[in-house]
């Protein structure tokens, strides 16, 4: 799967629908790693502790996924939610669908449709950003080169994630992986041997 086809939500979104007197509330949030997804799910559970069910799915990447029916019949809630994350090519995302039972049973097919509908409408309400794989580059260079390095970081659509700006600067730069080779070549050209780097994919 190409990174060009992947997306992530630009912030948290909430959306509610009513189906046969039951209330379904979708909660979508960015989740860059598994711990963030689990924490978001726990917050939703606490916020809706009186709900009948808090079903969820998250997808950190194509291999790192989890879903739960939270007491609904097996396969009727968590999997339909996950399928919507997959349909819209979302990664680094967690989606909880909270249900307040309204007294009318929906049946297996009805539950699958209801959870899938709420999940899809919640996703469609969100602003989605294209996923851009980043390269993490650790740099060391003399402080006198700070302005030049900052210029080329900006030119290559990068940003400083961390840094110790003493006589010798130790900095961590994040930038689109596609720009990494050009960026490093430019640094080597301006550094005259004074810039060292450790290259890692984020």
Q: Which two tokens stand for residue 100?
A: 């307040």
Same domain, 111 and 140: no
Domain CATH for 166: 3.30.70.240
**d(Cα 91, Cα 63) in Å, to the nearest integer?**
10
Q: Check residue 44 and give left, alpha or beta (phi > 0: left; psi -120 to 50: alpha).
A: alpha
In tens digits, the chain (202 residues) has pLDDT values of 455 689 999 999 999 999 999 999 999 999 999 999 999 999 999 999 999 999 999 999 989 999 999 999 999 999 999 999 999 999 999 999 999 999 999 999 999 999 999 999 999 999 999 998 888 999 999 999 999 999 999 999 899 988 887 779 999 999 888 889 999 999 989 888 899 887 655 5
Q: How far apart are CA 35 and CA 149, in angstroms?
A: 34
Does residue 165 share a domain with residue 117? no
Residues 197 and 120 in one domain: no
Question: 76 and 99 in one domain?
Answer: yes
Helix, strand, coil shares of the chain, percent, nearest 5, are: 35, 35, 25
């Amino acid at each position: 799967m190409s990174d060009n086809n992947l997306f992530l939500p630009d912030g948290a979104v909430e959306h509610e629908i009513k189906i046969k007197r039951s209330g379904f509330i979708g909660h979508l949030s960015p989740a860059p790693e598994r711990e963030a997804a689990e924490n978001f799910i726990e917050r939703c559970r606490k916020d809706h502790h009186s709900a009948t069910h808090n079903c969820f799915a998250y997808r950190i990447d194509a291999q790192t996924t989890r879903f739960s029916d939270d007491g609904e019949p097996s396969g009727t809630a968590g999997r339909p939610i996950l399928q919507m994350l997959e349909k819209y090519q979302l990664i680094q995302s967690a989606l909880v669908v909270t249900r307040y039972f309204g007294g009318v049973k929906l049946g297996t097919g009805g539950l699958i449709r209801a959870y899938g509908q709420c999940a899809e409408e919640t996703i469609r309400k969100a602003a989605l950003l294209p996923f851009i794989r980043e390269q993490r580059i650790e740099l060391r260079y003399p402080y006198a080169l700070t302005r030049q390095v900052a210029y080329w970081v900006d030119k290559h659509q990068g940003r400083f994630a961390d840094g110790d700006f003493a006589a010798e600067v130790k900095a961590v730069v994040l930038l689109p992986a596609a720009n990494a080779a050009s960026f490093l070549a430019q640094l080597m050209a301006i550094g005259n041997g004074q810039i060292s780097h450790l290259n890692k994919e984020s």
